[in-house]
Structure 1
Amino acid sequence: MQAAAHPLPLPHQARKQRADGAEARGQLLLAALRLFAEKGFAKTSIRDIAQAAGANVAAIRYYFGDKAGLYRTVFTEALGTPLCDDVARYQAVHLSLRQALEALMADFLAPMKQSELAQQLTRLNFREMLEPTGLWAEQIDSGVFPAHTALVEVLRRHLSIPQADDDVHRLAFSIHGLAMQMFVTRDAIEAVRPQLIATPQAIDLWAARLADFAEAMVVAEQARRQPRALEKKTQA
């Protein structure tokens, strides 16, 4: 009986092939992230990416289809867990305000523990805003909007108001802004006070401090609303 021309790999061979494939795909994603962040989508070629990753163009087509498919994968996968997937960690009704804010800040700052990756992600996002391909608009719809809506609901609940108004939305944007500024001003932080973000422990401490600041903002908003609440009760 004639042997098969392409015998099935042994189990350990199959595992090695899967591991090699995952590593090759990962190398392509990292190379693409760096080049897309530095040069933008239009000025980056798939040949440049393949060369930087030590792969061939056929590998990009195999894993991602084309340059647009690779860019979309970089933009979505490199960001880590989508913002909307983190919502459950801080939206749960049983959480105190402090617990919700701690979970929010810890999740938001987690990418900063990968120093170079965090910088490239920030640059990629700015590139996409300045030279839009449509993915940032999708990210707003699929990630930013659900995350913002979830935080608004958390704040509404802890402020004990029946419906979120413009000030609650302002507060939610401001709280998210506390964490976002760390990505935007990372270079300045490293120049002025590098130890503040030098280690994962330092970033965890900063996340805890941001939870402190955010909680103080909520308390200030609550105090601002109290005179109005008392006035309404008096008028009633």
Structure 2
Amino acid sequence: MNTTALTDETPVSAGASTRDDLLQAASDLMCRRDTLSIPIADIAAEAGVNSALVKYYFGNKSGLMRALLGRDLTLAVSQLEELVEMEMRPSTKMRYHLSGLIKMYFKYPYLQRLLTATMRDETDEIGAELARLYIQPIHDAYERMIAEGVDAGEFQPLDHRFFYFIVIGACDHIFSSRYVLKYIHKIDEIDDDLRRAYSEQAISMIMGGLMART
């Protein structure tokens, strides 16, 4: 995502630190303000650097946001691919995945909104690349996990394409729609206790629809 190389005079550690600081500042502000609309000047101020460094490291704000997606999603995708390869019951794999997915959205409540908005607003080439990097692996994992569960007699046959939308919607929506909690339920903040309670109920409902009928 970095469109401008560091100069020979720039210490690599200092450059990496500033770049990471800008990414963290954008993440912190989107979490705190519950919006994707964060001005570059605010991100730079949060990081304690000159706003020109956003252009230096990322090219523009769009480049920064794509880099943030890479920071937040690359490890999650890798962990899911590792989970798929583990020797365990398909239902156990799926429960681990769903729990981890909810934890990810709890930590980064802007994440699904940012991915969707970036794919929508960028060029088709960039959108397709984001889908290849961060969505296709999830579809592939779901297709394989569901097939393994059906073969094991644990899952009923389901269309993995629809399963993706059902799961992402269920796991993300409470975090991307926090104002519903605020105005309807008088809850201003999702704490870990609420996250755990929601995770338990969401996973129970998803698994209930996935498990084979006996």
Is 1:76 aligned to 2:70, yes or no?
yes
**Which ranges of structure 1 fall in alignment gaps of 5 or more residues?**
1-13, 227-236
State the Cα deviation string for residues 162-208 of structure 1 (Å, max 9, x = none): xx977344345423432133344332134334669732243133223
Change (3 A) 1:213 1:90: farther
1:137 aligns with 2:125: no
After superposition, where does 1:26-37 map in structure 2 within 5 Å?
Answer: 26-32=20-26, 34=29, 37=36
1:26 and 1:107 mapped to 2: Cα distance? Answer: 24
2:117 to 119, 127, 146: 127
- SS of corresponding position for 1:140: helix
Superposed CA deviations along residues 117-170 of structure 1, whole A, max 9, x for unmatched, are 52x434433432442345443222112111121112111111128xx9773443
TM-score relative to the length of structure 1: 0.63
Larger radius of gyration: 1
Q: Which range is displaced more, 80-89 or 94-103?
A: 80-89
* 1:17-47 deviations in Å (ceiling 9; x for gaps): 94x66553333224445489216xxxx5x56
Q: Which runs of 5+ in 2 are unaligned?
A: 1-10
Question: Which residue identity is paired with 1:73?
Answer: A
Q: Percent of aligned positions with the same letter in both sequences?
A: 18
- Residues 96-116 of structure 1: CA distance to partner in whole angstroms, max 9, x if unpaired? 2332122111221223433xx
The equivalent residue for 1:177 is: 169
Question: Which letter maps to 1:110?
Answer: K
Aligned residues of 1:125 and 1:136 also touching (Cα < 8 A): no
The secondary structure found in structure 2 opposite 1:139 is: helix
Does structure 2 conserve the Cα–Cα contact (< 8 Å) formed by 1:28 and 1:49? yes
SS at match of 1:94: coil
Are residues 122 and 91 of structure 1, via their aligned partners in 2, closer, same or farther at CA, if it must alter by over 3 Å?
Answer: closer
TM-score (norm 2): 0.68
Answer yes or no: is the 8 Å Cα contact 1:178–1:210 preserved in 2: yes
Listed one character per residue, the Cα deviations across residues 55-107 of structure 1 (whole Å, up to 9, x for unaligned) are 12453355x25215433212322x34444213235423522233212211122
| Inter-CA distance 76–126: structure 2 relative to 1 (3 Å threshold) | same
Alignment RMSD (CA, Å): 3.7
Give the count of matched residue pairs: 194
1:54 aligns with 2:45: no
The match for 2:37 is 38
Amino acid corresponding to residue 71 of structure 1 in structure 2: M
Moved segments of 4+, more than 6 Å: none
Output the CA distance in 2 between the equivalents of 1:171 and 1:113: 21
